[in-house]
Structures are given as C-alpha cells and as structure tokens.
C-alpha cells in the first residue's frame, strides 16, 4: 500500500478539479443575467453545422483520458500537462470573475425544420450551458494544451499517428465551438493566445536544471 501511495503521490494535483468545478459553476449562475457580450461580425458569417457537436462532446472524455494516461505513465509529463491546463484554466476563471463574458447567438434549433440526434445533443448543451463565461474558451485552450503536451511528450511525441490524430481532433474541437454557436471566434483567438503564453511558461524554462541547481545549493549549505 505504501509503495502505491508513493508511486502515485502526485494525485494531489487532481484536487484542483474540485476548486475548478465549484468556481466555474458558481460563475455560470452569477453571470447568467449580466455579462459583456462577445461577438464579431465573422460570427454571423459562420453557419450552424450540427455534426460539429460530436467533436464538441469528445472534448469531455478527451481531457481526463490524456491526463490519466500521463498520470500512470510519466510524472514529468503529468506535471507539465496539469500545470499547462490548470494554470490556464485558473487564468480563465479569474478573467470570467473580473470581466464576465457571454454570447447571445445560440442557434434557434426549432427554426431548422429538421431533427436528429445531433440537434438533440446540441439542445442539451444549450440547456446546461447558457453561453456565459466564454472568453477565453476553455474548450479550445484545453484542446490546444493537450496537443502541445502530447507533441512534447518523449513517448507519445514519437508517434506520428497519435500526434496527427491529436492535432486533427483539437482542431475539430476548436472549430466545433463556433459552428455549434457556443463561442465567438474571439474566444478562440484568446484561447490560442493564452495557450502560447502557457507554452512559454511550461516548456521554455529548463525546470529540471533549476531544481538540480537548487538541490545542489542545499547540499552545499548555500
């Protein structure tokens, strides 16, 4: 039992999800009637395409599956992955708290004159997510973040199939947010910008070298 606890002592990081969920759902309730509209003229030109709801939904298992993979296979990639995602998600929550944002152009599904399971899936999303707290898009940010971590992973980064699949899936997820009218294109651009910032925070500094230097200084009594 002690060996298992020692091997997976990095599980404490996952406690962040409790903080995130409480904070996110509180903001969703608090800003539902009062928010700053985010909209671009380009949003009106982007058509509603219901089949994009499929990659939109795939995001929900995509995030925990990748995190779980790194949790069990590589502490280094796990810490980089959760650091990338959780710090970025916290920045998003702070942004939503200071400047609540939202959209008012969720599509009128009844006006389509057709019905299928994808429209019903979209209808459900509309019912549980009113289109508040949108900028930056966490859907897009996390998708870009996961692809970044996969590409930089020593193990997964060697697989062209996995890297290509991740890039395609993340691209489709980002596209889905605007094609199912859950986000403005502005939200996507802000998510990309945040992901770039997080890349420089997580991957540019040589943290391993810094930690080794710090440990050496402690041993030398400095």
Residue range 99-115, pLDDT digits in tens? 999 999 999 998 988 88
CA within 13 Å, CB half, 110 = 0
* Residue 32, pLDDT score: 66
* pLDDT category of residue 8 using cuts at 50, 70 and 90: confident
pLDDT at residue 3 is higher than 80? no
164-179: b (≥16 Cβ within 10 Å) or e: eebeebbebbbbbbbb
- Compute the radius of gyration of the chain from its Cα atoms: 20
pLDDT digits (tens, 9 = 90+) for 154-170: 999 999 999 999 999 99
pLDDT at residue 216 is higher than 60? no
* Residue 212, pLDDT score: 56
pLDDT at residue 218 is higher than 80? no
**Helical packing angle, 160-179 and 53-73, nearest 10°:** 140
* Residue 210, pLDDT score: 55
* Residue 28, pLDDT score: 84
pLDDT at residue 222 is higher than 80? no
pLDDT digits (tens, 9 = 90+) for 178-192: 999 999 999 999 999
d(CA 10, CA 39): 40
* Residue 213, pLDDT score: 52
């Amino acid at each position: 039992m002690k060996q298992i606890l020692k091997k997976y002592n990095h599980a404490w990081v996952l406690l962040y999800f409790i903080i995130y969920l409480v904070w996110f759902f509180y903001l969703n309730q608090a800003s539902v009637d009062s928010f700053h509209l985010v909209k671009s003229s380009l949003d009106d030109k982007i058509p509603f395409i219901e089949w994009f709801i499929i990659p939109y939904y795939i995001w929900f298992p995509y995030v925990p599956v990748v995190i779980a993979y790194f949790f069990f296979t590589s502490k280094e990639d796990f810490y980089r992955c959760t650091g990338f995602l959780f710090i970025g998600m916290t920045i998003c929550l702070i942004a939503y708290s200071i400047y609540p944002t939202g959209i008012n152009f969720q599509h009128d599904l009844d006006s389509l004159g057709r019905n299928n399971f994808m429209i019903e899936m979209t209808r459900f999303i509309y019912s549980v997510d009113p289109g508040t707290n949108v900028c930056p898009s966490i859907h897009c940010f996390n998708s870009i973040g996961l692809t970044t971590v996969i590409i930089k992973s020593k193990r997964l980064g060697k697989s062209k199939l996995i890297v290509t699949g991740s890039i395609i899936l993340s691209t489709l997820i980002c596209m889905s947010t605007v094609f199912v009218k859950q986000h403005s294109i502005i939200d996507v651009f802000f998510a990309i910008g945040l992901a770039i910032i997080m890349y420089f925070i997580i991957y540019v500094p040589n943290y391993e070298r810094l930690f080794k230097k710090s440990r050496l200084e402690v041993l030398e009594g400095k």
